[in-house]
Amino acid sequence: MSNQFFENHNENTMLLDHTDKEVLIMVEDQQIIDLTSDKYLIVFDLDNTLAALGKPMEPDTLRCLQELSAAGYHLAIASGKPIFYMMGFCRQANLPKMWLIGENGIQTVFGVEIPPEYHLNAKVKPELIQALADLKRKIIAEFGNKIWLQPNEVEITPFFFDIRTRAEMEQFIEEIRDELEQAEITVFPHNDCFDFLPSGIDKGKAVTELIKWLEINPLCTIAVGDTWNDQPLFDACHHAIAINFPEAIKSNGNLIHVSNIEQALIQIQKILLKNL
C-alpha cells in the first residue's frame, strides 16, 4: 500500500478544518466535494484486527488511521477491553480524535482526555449489575488464582492461564447456562478469556446509537472485525470487512473477507474512493 492512503490526493490537495460545517476538499480534477454530506463512520475491532494481541499497531496501519482522521472521517474502535485501556492505546498512538467503545458496547466515549469530551454509555438495569456482581464473586470462588479478571466497570472478563482452566470454565458456564439466561447475561468466548455482559448490549447496538448521535447516513458506515463479538458490529454497519473470520455472515451481502488489516484498509480505500 502507498504511504499516502488516498492515492488520488497529491501535493495540490487542499484539506481544510474538518470541524467546520463547510469542510471542502479539492481533488486532483479540481472538483470540489462537500464531505459533510456523506461523511463515513469507520469502526475497527482492536485485538487481532488493528493490532496483534498485546502489540502496537504497525506503522502503515497507524499512518492510514491518521490520514483518515485528518480527512474528516469519523473513526471508532470497538473492543471488549475497558475504556481506560483503549484511551492509553490511542494516546500513545497519537490518535486523539477517536470514538472508543469499550466492554463490548457498555461504554462509549470520544477522545483520550479524562474526563472525556463526550460519553454515550449504555443503560444497564440495577438488577443486572447486581447479577453480574454476584456472578463475579462466584467465578472468583470457583477459580481463584487460576484466572485474572480484567478491571471492567460492568462486564466480567476472566482470563485463563492454561487449556485445562479453559475447559473447566466452559464446563462451569454450561452448568449455569439456565441461570445466565434467566439473569439476561450473554457470554462471548475468546481464545484467552470469556466476556460476560448484559444481554441486549453489544458493539452493534453501541454503534447504532453513535450513528444516530452523529447523524451519519447509515449507508456510510464500515465495520472491521475478526470474531464473534464483532458480528453485531457487522450487522449495524452497511459495509463489513471480516479478517480471518470465515463464519462471519451479513444479510445484505455487503461483507468482504480478507486475511489481514492491510487488505482491510485497501478495501476501505476502495469503498471511500468509490463514493467520492
Q: Residues 68-108: pLDDT tens digits?
A: 999 999 999 999 999 999 999 999 999 999 999 999 999 99
**Are residues 222 and 237 in contact, defined by beta-carbon separation less than 8 angstroms?**
yes
Average per-residue pLDDT for the chain: 87
Q: Residues 164-187: pLDDT tens digits?
A: 999 999 999 999 999 999 999 999
C-alpha cell at 35: 464531505
Residue ranges of domains in the chain:
14-122+201-274, 126-198
pLDDT value of position 29: 31
Q: Which CATH class is domain 14-122+201-274?
A: alpha beta
**DSSP H helical ranges for 14-111:** 59-70, 83-92
Question: What does the angle CA 221 – CA 227 – CA 233 come to, to the nearest 5 degrees?
Answer: 25
Give the confidence band of 6 by pLDDT, cuts at 50, 70, 90: very low
Distance separating alpha carbons of residues 169 and 159, to the nearest angstrom: 10
The answer to whether residue 20 scores a pLDDT higher than 70 is no
Q: Residues 226-259: pLDDT tens digits?
A: 999 999 999 999 999 999 999 999 988 889 999 9
Task: Report the CATH architecture of 126-198.
Answer: Alpha-Beta Complex (3.90)
What predicted TM-score, i.e. pTM, was given to this entire model?
Answer: 0.83
Give the single-character DSSP code of 37: G
Buried b (16+ CB within 10 A) or exposed e, 71-110: bbbbbbbbbbbbbbbbbebbeebebebbbbbbbbbbbbbb
